């Protein structure tokens, strides 16, 4: 049985998430439902893409991922089903799927035609379109029944780290701030290692701060667990579980982490300057 996951920017205070779940369960009482996140910042597609991209592949192949972020209905904007990497993704055609799969080609994309006739009454996209489409797919239905192939889907710009050869420098930026205040950048480990192999030394720079070491994982900064508490509040850089450069405060939180204490926000530039061994 296929799993249906839900992601939205609706929060948990209002009725909307419950309405989506109720709509799905009314159509399929035995549906396997789970949440990815409903705490996405309103209309924040980059944040959505980071969360969904790093979560979906933990689910069984064939899972259906409903993304109700910036999904308000308008007859001039499509809703789409994308099949990529063995999973289905159901969302508004707002570019969010191009951010999730900026480096993976979709196998199929369909414009949803279910409930989109001129006389259909759509009050809430997630319950009136996305939910029934997810149920159709979970029941083993094929996308061709509820849609037609689409080629002109919206693509959003995904910020990529670049290497400035003249300056001997990688220029990246902050992609995401997590619940611990950790700052995730778009500089991946392989890209960094490729440039480092030409030099030998590096310095990570942001704001007016600099670091000359990147740890392999969060707890590597603790040399002796008897004195672990002495590391609390220390600012360090690591490559996280997704091999992205992350700036963190050890044992920090959303209000005492790298974002708040170091003043780093999404979109802010981060630099790695390389130099030859002396």
Same domain, 144 and 256: no
Together in a domain, 129 and 169:
no
Q: How far apart are CA 249 and CA 177, in angstroms?
A: 12
Kindly report each contact of residues 28-32 with a partner whose C-beta sits within 8 Å and lies 24 or more positions away, as own/partner: 28/135, 28/138, 28/139, 30/1, 31/4, 31/135, 31/138, 32/1, 32/2, 32/3, 32/4
Of the candidates 246, 234, 178, the one whose C-alpha atom is nearest the C-alpha of residue 206 is 246
- Is 35 part of any domain? yes
Same domain, 11 and 106: yes
| 108 in any annotated domain | yes
The overall longest dimension of the chain from CA atoms, in Å, is: 73
**For residue 59, what is the domain's CATH number?**
3.40.50.10790
Give 148's strand partners. 111
Question: Is residue 119 included in any domain, yes or no?
Answer: yes
Residue 237 near residue 214 (C-beta atoms within 8 A): yes
Q: Which of 149, 182, 213 lies at the terminal end of a domain, its last residue?
A: 149
Residues 136 and 53 both lie in one domain: yes
Q: Are strands 64-68 and 169-177 parallel, antiparallel or unpaired?
A: unpaired
The position carrying tokens 């192939």 is 149
Closest alpha carbon to 37 in 69, 15, 84, 1: 69
Specify the number of domains making up the chain: 2
Burial pattern 212-246, b for ≥16 Cβ within 10 A else e, equals eebbeebeebbeeeeeeeebeeebbbbbbeeebbb
Per-residue pLDDT at 122: 75
pLDDT of residue 278: 64
Q: Which of 121, 149, 177 is the last residue of a domain?
A: 149
Q: Of 149, 177, 206, which residue sits at a domain end? A: 149
Residues 13 and 121 both lie in one domain: yes
User: What pLDDT score was predicted for residue 117?
Assistant: 52
pLDDT at residue number 118: 45
Residue 83 and residue 180 in one domain: no
Q: What does 82-139 look like in DSSP terms, one character per residue?
A: EEETTEEEEEESSSHHHHHTTTS--SEEEEE-TT-STT---S-HIIIIIHHHHHHHHT
Indicate if 134 and 177 belong to the same structural domain.
Answer: no
CATH of the domain at 235: 2.40.30.90
Same domain, 45 and 107: yes
| Residue 157 is assigned to a structural domain of this protein | no
Are 103 and 128 in the same domain?
Answer: yes
Q: Residue 96: inside a domain, yes or no?
A: yes
Q: Which range marks the domain in which residue 267 is found?
A: 162-276
Q: Which residues pair with 272 in a beta bridge?
A: 170, 204
- Predicted structure pTM score: 0.91
Q: What is the pLDDT along the chain (278 residues), one digit of tens a residue?
A: 799 999 999 999 999 999 999 999 999 999 999 999 999 999 999 999 999 999 999 999 999 999 999 998 887 789 999 999 999 999 999 999 999 999 888 999 999 997 655 456 778 899 999 999 999 999 999 999 999 999 889 999 999 999 999 999 999 999 999 999 999 999 999 999 999 999 989 999 999 899 999 998 888 888 778 888 888 888 999 999 999 999 999 888 988 889 999 999 999 999 999 998 76
Which DSSP string corresponds to 193-204? Answer: HHHHTTTEEEEE
Spatial contact of 44 and 67, defined as CB atoms under 8 Å apart? no
Q: Does some domain include residue 251?
A: yes
Does any domain span residue 156? no
- Helix/strand/coil percent split, the chain, to 5: 25, 30, 45
The whole-number pLDDT of residue 116 equals 57
Statement to judge: residues 236 and 114 lie in one domain: no
What pLDDT, on the 0 to 100 scale, is given for residue 74?
80
Nearest to 90 by CA among 117, 115, 63: 63
Q: Are residues 173 and 109 in the same domain?
A: no
* Domain match, 33 and 141 both: yes
The whole-angstrom separation of Cα 224 and Cα 36 is 36
Residue 154 domain flag: no
């Amino acid at each position: 049985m296929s799993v249906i996951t839900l992601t939205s920017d609706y929060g948990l205070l209002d009725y909307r998430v419950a309405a989506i779940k109720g709509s799905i369960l009314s159509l399929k009482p035995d549906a396997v439902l789970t949440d990815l996140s409903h705490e996405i910042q309103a209309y924040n597609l980059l944040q959505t893409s980071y969360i969904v991209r790093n979560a979906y592949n933990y689910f069984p192949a064939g899972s259906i991922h409903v993304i109700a972020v910036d999904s308000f209905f308008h007859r001039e904007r499509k809703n789409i089903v994308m099949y990529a990497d063995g999973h289905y993704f159901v969302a508004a055609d707002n570019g969010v799927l191009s951010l999730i799969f900026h480096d993976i080609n979709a196998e199929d994309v369909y414009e949803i035609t279910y409930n989109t006739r001129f006389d259909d009454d759509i009050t809430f996209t997630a319950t009136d379109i996305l939910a029934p489409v997810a149920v159709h797919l979970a029941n083993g239905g094929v996308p061709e029944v509820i849609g037609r192939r689409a080629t002109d889907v919206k693509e959003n710009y995904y910020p990529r780290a670049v290497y400035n050869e003249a300056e001997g420098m990688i220029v990246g930026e902050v992609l995401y701030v997590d619940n611990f205040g950790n700052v995730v950048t778009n500089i991946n480990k392989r890209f960094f290692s490729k440039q480092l192999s030409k030099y030998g030394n590096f310095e990570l720079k942001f704001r007016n701060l600099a670091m000359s070491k990147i740890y392999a994982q969060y707890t590597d900064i603790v040399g002796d667990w008897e004195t672990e508490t002495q590391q609390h509040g220390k600012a360090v850089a690591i490559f996280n579980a997704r091999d992205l450069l992350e700036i963190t405060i050890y044992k920090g939180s959303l209000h005492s982490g790298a974002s708040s204490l170091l003043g780093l926000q999404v979109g802010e530039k981060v630099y790695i300057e390389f130099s030859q061994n002396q």
